[in-house]
Structure 1
Amino acid sequence: MSLKRVVLLFLFACSLKTAGAQGKYQWKEATSGGYTYKYISNDPMKARFYTLKNGLTVILSVNKKDPRIQTLIGTRAGSDNDPKDHTGLAHYLEHLLFKGTQQFGSLDWAKEKPLIDQVSDLYDKYNKTVDPAARKAVYREIDSVSGLAAKFAIANEYDKMMSGMGAQGTNAHTWVEETIYEEDIPSNAIDKYLTVQAERFRDPVFRLFHTELEAVYEEKNRGLDNDGRKVYETMLAALFPTHNYGQQSTIGTVEHLKNPNLKAIRQFYNEYYVPNNMAVVMAGDFDPDYVIKSIDDKFSYMKTKPVKEYKPAPEAPIKAPIVKEVFGPDAESVDIVFRMPGALDTKSNLVLGVMSAILENGKAGLLDLNINKQQKVLNANAGVMGLKDYSIFSLSGKAKQGQTLEDVKVLLLGQLDILKKGDFDESLVKAIVNNAKLSELQGLESNNNRATALMDGFIKSRGQNWAYDVAYVDDMGTVTKKQLVDYANKYLQDNYVIVYKRKGEDKNIQKVEKPSITPVEVNREAQSSFLQKVAAMPATPVKPQWLDYEKDIQKTSLGNTDMMYVQNKDNGLFRLYYRFDMGSWNDKKLPLAAQYLQFLSTDKYTSEQISKEFYNIACNFSVAATSENTTITISGLQENFDKAVTLFEHIIANCKPNEEALAALKGRLLKARTDSKLNKSAIMKGVMNYAMYGAKNPFNNQLSQSDLDGITAAELTNILHELPTYKHTVIYWGPESLTTAAAEVKKLHTIPASFKAVPAAVKFVKDDQQKNQVLFADYDMVQTEVNWLRNSDVYDPAKTGIVSLFNSYFGGGMGSVVFQTIRESKALAYSTYAFYASPDKKADRYSIMAYVGSQADKMPDAIVGMNELLNDMPRADKLLETAKEGMKQDIETERITNDGIIFSYLAAQKLGLNTDIRKQVYESIDKMNFDEVKKFHDQYLANKPYTYCIVASEKKVPADELKKYGEVKKLSLEEIFGY
């Protein structure tokens, strides 16, 4: 089980009586600012639970660390609640709630309304029409009337308002039991935010529907190309033959997507988007008394209504294994899943959570030690997904070279047999609790973690069981070995579903066909009076805070190197780093050596004992080698700092060669390499590197098979033993003073009198694109993925401001020119963007990158659409002002804290800077205008040669089509990956 708070396991008193829930953590009531709220004693989030007169739930958690607030507005309705004949409806509605209301998103609602009504009636007619020719005729009428209605629509006005107030992470998601709307706002934008949200949910208008519908089609097609999603849906369907978890896909069936009904969507909205079924959750820097009054004032118009809960009949027990197979081009895997009691069965879920951690916790679980540590498979995992009616316990694994998925299945089920026999150390439960407390401390730093946990509590139990969630970590310690063994024997028998993901053609795949859509108006320069009113609302200025590296980072000498220090004044956590300016470009074997370390023993400890030791003291270590840096990280509870550092220093100095472990690692690496060649994202990354650097590039800078075969265990252990003898910087973030921390490190970490010379690094030089070229990689998929790539000038810090503004305006978000044109107006893609990418070191060059993912038959139109924008950028002065205001708000409310201060400094040094570049950018924002942005676009993007990186099925993209864009080079997987 993951202890991340996203999958919360709630408890209620009648099922589980624990000292934690009944003593330390209890519901209390208080009144402040004229409002009564409930809270849990000793809740580390100090969450306040309000219920307004109309039934709206409001949950607030104050965290003053940054002047920002994570907000979530959720309704307890998802795909479970979709009508049987309109699956995907809740998800459609989620998309439409970004389209505005009568007050915003419209130039003239009185003129737009009759056209919107006509579109709704036409979709109703379309939904009931069967004859293909008649359907096409109705759709042509829909397209025509939609085009007329779009003349009155202001596309993305919601996004413009949110960007203008400095919101980040504008998004939403729909799942089986929930639909959640997400924003991260500056703390001075509360009034603006609540004004917009209250209006958003008052009476949404379903405008620009047919282009948004096409975006959902594209989202569905992306899912059809995603083997992991297909496995997930197959697993749910088999596990839940009657429950909507398995019978109603969140995104909907192809047949239902083709037959949408706006009236059915409106009915769903009216039934479920009511205050007694919704919650507003906010976590961050605010005055809760002010916020609750503001929410009450803004949302009091909502009227409570009875809500029909989805109450399914119980699923029949599974009496024998149910076997399913999924085919696709990606790597093979196996998933074994059990249907367990739901998240509201708290006694069950407490034991289930501990049991899952006994099996896998990343360090000392049965799978960790017996399978992953011994490299018996490529990788293996266990986890819990907690839903209201049922939870799902899963085991999953990937086969190594020469191994079948059936072999993996036997190994996974073998660990369940060990669990059921009780062949594990009961003291592991205590370690699980300590590590859960560590995760909890780390999670409290994030407003997003707080808000997500609180919203999840509302979705599952309306927040009524929060006391048991707060007590959950403590209560884990009460679970006994006997309970675990009894539980495993009760629930984990032959009552599972097993899904084999096999490589091969999916003959059942059915794409959503492209309808004929005429591009619509987006009116990007228009502004509603509502937007103007929101923009004019007063907001208390937030003063930006710049880093002063001389003051914010303390330094001291440790022998002949430096230690950089920032104090943790919030809690008892520490992070210690040894950072080396050498990586895989200096030695290709470094990443392999770093990976190898986890499988090695010393003269005092076996590899398994090392994992247990670190887990028992709630600490971690890692060695990570990137292209130009290698970083050793030791982290955990400061009280165990000495133990953790001493243990790691012993390991790095005394690890012993193990040929058997190396042979297994090489075999797994070979399989991982083979699997990467089956992954379209990895293939595209390789194609992009080829476009950027040429045939020799960072992506394919890999050990050859002969090099790999020739590496010995002694060679890798020597690399590890010698690593501390190369120059490195020590970084400490933790609660100790600089003097104490330095003394501790000096005592525990040996620094040589002189450092070894670092091996010379291989150089990679970015190519010049002299003419249009197409790099093509064949992949069995429904969609096509197209990236544009062009290298530009060498880094210049003076350009940072204009680059940031250009990216925000042109192609960096949902309110950008690219998104509005490609998706909102022309409905050519679900995902699209374009930006001028900055390098991370001063001698490197910028690169222009653009992307469209579309159906294969839309690719020509998508390429034409992006090329038009790359060559001629539309002018939208108000959109530019929104981008500038958003930039200012982002910088004003950004706080770089903790060890992030040190890594910000190191990144600045790499660019040749010694000050916080954000100050220069901030001071330049008001001085920049459209002419400068246009000049930048024309100078660096317009009418330039590009390399088109295309990953698609050659069965769906004709070779002659590719030749239109430049000289075509079809890349082999060996050319892309370097092996």
Structure 2
Amino acid sequence: MKNFLILICALLTFASCSKKYEEVKGDMSQTRIYTLKNGLKVYLSVNKEEPRIQTFIAVRTGSKNDPAETTGLAHYLEHLMFKGTAKFGVTDPEAEAPLLDDIEARYEKYRKLTDPEARRQAYHEIDSVSQLAAQYFIPNEYDKLMSAIGAEGTNAYTSEDVTCYTEDIPSNEIENWAKIQSDRFQNMVIRGFHTELEAVYEEYNIHLTSDIDKLFTAMSAKLYPNHPYGTQTTIGTQEHLKNPSITNIKEYFKKWYVPNNVAICMAGDFDPDETIAIIEKYFGEWQPSTDADGKVAPVEQPSFPELAPITAPIDTTVIGLEAETIWLGWRFDEAKSLQSDTLQVIESMLSNGTAGLIDLDINQQMKMLEAWGGAMASMDYSMFLLAGTPREGQTLDEVRALLLAEIEKLKKGEFSDDLLPSVINNLKLQYYNALENNRSRANMFVQSFVNGTPWEQEVKLLDRLEGMTKEQIVAFANRHFQNNYVAVYKRQGVDPTQKKIDKPQITPIPTNRDLVSDFVTEIQNSEVKPIEPKFVDFQKDLTFGNLNPLPEIQIPYIYVQNNENGRFQLSFHYDFGEESDVRYNYAAEYIDYLGTDSLTAEQLKQQFYKLACNYHISVGSRSIDVVLNGLGENMPQAVALLEHLLQNAKVDEDAYRQYIAIREKGRVDAKSDQRTNFQYLVQYGLYGPYNSYRNSYTAQQLAQENPQELLDLLKNLSQYEHTVLYYGPMNQLDLTAALDSHMATLKSTLKPVPEGKHYTMQATPENEILIAPFDAKNIYMRMYHNEQLPWNADEAPVKALFNEYYGGGMNTIVFQELREARGLAYNAYAAYVEPSYKGDPEYYFTHIITQNDKMMDCVRQFHVILDSIPESENAFKIAKDALTKRLASQRTTKFGLINAWLYAKLRGIDYDINERIYNALPSITLNDVVRFEQERMARKPYRYIILGDEKELDMAALQQYGPVKRVTTQEVFGY
């Protein structure tokens, strides 16, 4: 009887602690959905693969909810959510509070001023008061907290409908994470305002140079007139960013950041009963919005008049420096509408990257440079886009006609009966793949919550797709894809709407990195059950063997079994690449447009897609990988199909001419893109004229090549020594049988891999300015130093800790000094880089994107923190804790195990370097890191690699750092 009573009490205790939750029968993610008394939604899905958890905290508000007079507010609030509360980010909140109130009041006056001189004076006064407030501010304490618990991916994003805060945390830190987040979401304090505003403005400058942003803004304006999707952007206007309102931000926070408008979304390794109890403990007292009777009231989203239907095509134009393109867009219902099901299917039927109508009719046949399509679902409305980039000499109207012709084929049912079932099979595979990833799972929860889509509707998607018919797709297309679209023409030219803004006079605020709040100390000193690290043991975690197709041939293989699902990845790996023969690049591209002696190119693509498998040939500087992946049950057929293509690809002279023309147009277009220009310039600055970007054939050289010789390179590739890499459900015996078609091509002893001319990094014996032109309002800049030092594995721990402390994330010296204290950039970091190949040198670089007139401030400040590295024992301890906890909780799995072995082999080691780093961390001191930095980076010569417009830069000041070497765009690109 006594034991019986104990059992009853235990059961009653469990019942009182557990909470009711919703779940959906048949849900493969086994998601539990809880709703706390205050309305907070909690989505929990367990995945035990690694001891980490992806967390999203989603607030159902975005730029759609911005007041019209202060657009960009939701996004700016997102940034301010990282500044702390009364518990952290501050030393004396009582002394700070009246100064913050003063700053708020001054901004309200400032935003109404129009006289330039009056505005300058008012801003100077704001800057002065901000200095007084900054003495109590501890910048980046939120990031210190996240580092202290070993978080990764600390970030946030804002869109039209949601503001979402992301963390990937170790599984033993749930309570600390909840303690921090609950305080942050209930008690946010706005501080560090004017320097963060400049960081947001630098983000705006980057937005101005992006033609994709211009296209999306123009498309939204025409699809959604009189709705915030079309009338205001997430980043906001230039005028509003320069005239912010702290008062409006506070009101916004009070209205939307309430528990009954928020969802906590978690996927990973945890006990759901324990986790929901922790969330209840820390978030349960969060006060919701209520009605007049004090009851939890739903947070009503703003409503807008129904948009009038579009009855005729609407054309509009945007201008930018990048290549011409055109977008066509149709408006559809809200995301939770069942229209979204059909739009997903239609997206894949038109543009799945392999066998869609656009893939086969346009991209495969090279009728334009590139075409694609896709659906974008949002809370109030959705859009379906088609896009195309013209070939040389092709007009945007011709591109438009080709895209619309594919819609007409869809409407007439002019597509294979196999296409729809193939699409559904591949969507299933995509869903299964997504379930393997914690971030993908958690993102599904965010979308369901924000869009108001019932979780059961999300779970039953595949069941609904199974029932779709060709007749339904055709009827849907005829009903919705009419002349009710918007066409946005992206023309090439200088955008006349861009305005230059002079940098404000900001006095740098102190970083106060030696100060630590009691809250941070409490988190640091909290006791959690440690996670035991698990590093890769190549001999235990991998299976090595040999295939023997002929007595004189041995092909080594590396095998990892997939015991979770039916997905596989197979690679034929060769230890040579473009450094040996750059033609492999062109052969890999050209074969994609070809058929064989028995199958057309279209039939090949359709067969791969029907098998839910795909292939690609990846050519690196020192490696070639012929890769297959997809459903394991279809791997033997996919291997045979791939071998058939490689051995029997048939030259098509017309396709070869078109391929050359398409490739040349892409090369020309690349010169008009700012990011691409900088990528090429960096390679030029690091390696000189012989580098992986410039090592390419001209159109004339390709025209002189015999296309059959290109195909023969791939046909005979298997005759070189290579390794088979496999992750999948087959046992080793079945794997051998599945590779019969590959081994049948082997005829004699395998040839050794050919030697190559390696790309060689250049030393920087003296200061030099390397500058290339680009007409924009901002510059891209790297400072590069290389003493040709070989890699030393024994130094790997101190290098890893240096990067953690100095230049990697938001809690580092570079971020604090360049962005937090001075507002000089949105994007700033630095790194000491170890080589990927044995014998290659190490090097160091800094990186920043900034407004033109801030360039010299950035250069000077980088040198300040290089020549005299700021030292903080508190910051160093946090960096060491962060790196230790991340290494302990990370797990290398699946094909990643094979990649880890390959990477170690390239570096000349046979062990997991992370284990050596982890074991050495306890003994590394701040003095070790400082000594390393002073020996390797301080007072050293640098090559300043700059992409920018000299007319906008202070070249006289820059020349004081070294002689200027100007390179043309043609020199950088090599054509």
Preserved CA contact (<8 Å) 1:258 1:512: no
CA offsets, 1:779-831, max 9 Å, x none? 11111111111113111111110110001111111000110011111111111
- Helix, strand or coil at the partner of 2:187: coil
Inter-partner Cα distance in structure 1 for 2:803 and 2:758: 29
Inter-partner Cα distance in structure 2 for 1:33 and 1:425: 56
**Is 1:194 aligned with 2:186?**
no
**Is 1:74 aligned with 2:58?**
yes
Preserved CA contact (<8 Å) 2:593 2:655: yes
Paired AA for residue 451 in structure 2: K
1:762 equivalent in structure 2:
757
Q: Show the 5 A alignment for 1:465-864.
A: 465-559=454-548, 560-746=554-740, 748-750=742-744, 751-792=746-787, 793-864=789-860
Q: Show the 5 A alignment for 1:87-166.
A: 87-166=71-150
Deviation at 1:542, TM superposition (A): 0.4
Preserved CA contact (<8 Å) 2:661 2:699: no
2:288 equivalent in structure 1:
304
Preserved CA contact (<8 Å) 2:856 2:958: no
Q: Which stretch has the larger CA shift, 539-548 or 704-713?
A: 704-713
Preserved CA contact (<8 Å) 1:659 1:712: no
Q: What is the root-mean-square deviation in Å for CA atoms of aligned residues?
A: 1.4
Preserved CA contact (<8 Å) 1:339 1:392: yes
Inter-partner Cα distance in structure 2 for 1:854 and 1:736: 52
Q: Which stretch has the larger CA shift, 727-736 or 960-969?
A: 960-969
Paired AA for residue 944 in structure 1: K
Paired AA for residue 540 in structure 1: K
- Helix, strand or coil at the partner of 1:826: coil
Identity of aligned residues (%): 39
Q: 1:32 to 1:734 in 2, by over 3 A?
A: farther
CA offsets, 1:904-962, max 9 Å, x none? 01100111100111111111101111111111111110111100011112331254344
- Helix, strand or coil at the partner of 1:845: coil
Preserved CA contact (<8 Å) 1:546 1:916: yes
1:903 equivalent in structure 2:
899
- How many residue pairs match? The answer is 947
Q: 1:857 to 1:599 in 2, by over 3 A?
A: same
Inter-partner Cα distance in structure 2 for 1:369 and 1:424: 11
Inter-partner Cα distance in structure 1 for 2:702 and 2:954: 38
2:449 to 455, 458, 466: 458
TM-score (norm 1): 0.95
Q: Which stretch has the larger CA shift, 131-140 or 933-942?
A: 131-140
Preserved CA contact (<8 Å) 1:325 1:501: yes
Inter-partner Cα distance in structure 2 for 1:693 and 1:620: 34
Deviation at 1:511, TM superposition (A): 4.2
Paired AA for residue 938 in structure 1: Q
Paired AA for residue 872 in structure 1: S
Deviation at 1:427, TM superposition (A): 2.7
Deviation at 1:422, TM superposition (A): 1.3
1:274 to 240, 258, 262: 258
Paired AA for residue 612 in structure 1: Q
Paired AA for residue 445 in structure 1: E
Preserved CA contact (<8 Å) 1:822 1:865: yes
Q: Which stretch has the larger CA shift, 509-518 or 795-804?
A: 509-518
Inter-partner Cα distance in structure 1 for 2:394 and 2:481: 25
Inter-partner Cα distance in structure 2 for 1:635 and 1:138: 61
Preserved CA contact (<8 Å) 1:433 1:474: no
1:323 to 312, 315, 326: 315
Inter-partner Cα distance in structure 1 for 2:500 and 2:425: 48
**Is 1:341 aligned with 2:333?**
yes
Preserved CA contact (<8 Å) 1:221 1:511: no
Paired AA for residue 621 in structure 2: S
Inter-partner Cα distance in structure 1 for 2:239 and 2:741: 68
Preserved CA contact (<8 Å) 2:660 2:699: no
2:192 equivalent in structure 1:
208
Paired AA for residue 248 in structure 1: Q
Preserved CA contact (<8 Å) 1:692 1:790: no
1:23 equivalent in structure 2:
none
CA offsets, 1:333-361, max 9 Å, x none? 11111111221221x22222222221111
**Is 1:374 aligned with 2:368?**
no
Preserved CA contact (<8 Å) 1:221 1:512: no
Paired AA for residue 333 in structure 1: T
**Is 1:972 aligned with 2:968?**
yes
**Is 1:925 aligned with 2:909?**
no
Preserved CA contact (<8 Å) 2:578 2:619: yes
Inter-partner Cα distance in structure 2 for 1:89 and 1:397: 33
Deviation at 1:426, TM superposition (A): 3.1
Deviation at 1:133, TM superposition (A): 2.1
Gaps of 5+ in 2: 1-13, 290-296, 549-553
Paired AA for residue 370 in structure 2: N
- Helix, strand or coil at the partner of 1:809: helix
CA offsets, 1:617-647, max 9 Å, x none? 1111111111111101111111111111111
Deviation at 1:43, TM superposition (A): 0.6
- Helix, strand or coil at the partner of 1:821: helix
2:356 equivalent in structure 1:
365
Gaps of 5+ in 1: 1-29
Preserved CA contact (<8 Å) 1:429 1:476: no
**Is 1:245 aligned with 2:240?**
no
1:59 equivalent in structure 2:
43
Inter-partner Cα distance in structure 2 for 1:424 and 1:686: 41
**Is 1:39 aligned with 2:34?**
no
Preserved CA contact (<8 Å) 2:767 2:961: yes
Preserved CA contact (<8 Å) 2:579 2:759: no
Preserved CA contact (<8 Å) 1:558 1:746: no
- Helix, strand or coil at the partner of 1:36: coil
- Helix, strand or coil at the partner of 2:724: strand
Inter-partner Cα distance in structure 2 for 1:265 and 1:79: 12
Inter-partner Cα distance in structure 2 for 1:960 and 1:399: 42
Paired AA for residue 60 in structure 1: L
4+ residue runs over 4 A deviation: 30-33
Inter-partner Cα distance in structure 2 for 1:748 and 1:40: 44
TM-score (norm 2): 0.96
1:386 equivalent in structure 2:
377
Inter-partner Cα distance in structure 2 for 1:118 and 1:388: 38
Inter-partner Cα distance in structure 1 for 2:636 and 2:684: 46
Deviation at 1:512, TM superposition (A): 4.4
1:865 to 856, 861, 867: 861
Paired AA for residue 685 in structure 1: Q
**Is 1:291 aligned with 2:275?**
yes
Deviation at 1:452, TM superposition (A): 0.4
1:432 to 419, 423, 427: 423
Inter-partner Cα distance in structure 2 for 1:211 and 1:975: 38
Q: Which stretch has the larger CA shift, 187-196 or 791-800?
A: 791-800
Paired AA for residue 974 in structure 1: Q
CA offsets, 1:640-690, max 9 Å, x none? 111111111111111111111111111111011111111222211222122
CA offsets, 1:105-127, max 9 Å, x none? 00111111111111111111112
Q: Which stretch has the larger CA shift, 838-847 or 761-770?
A: 761-770
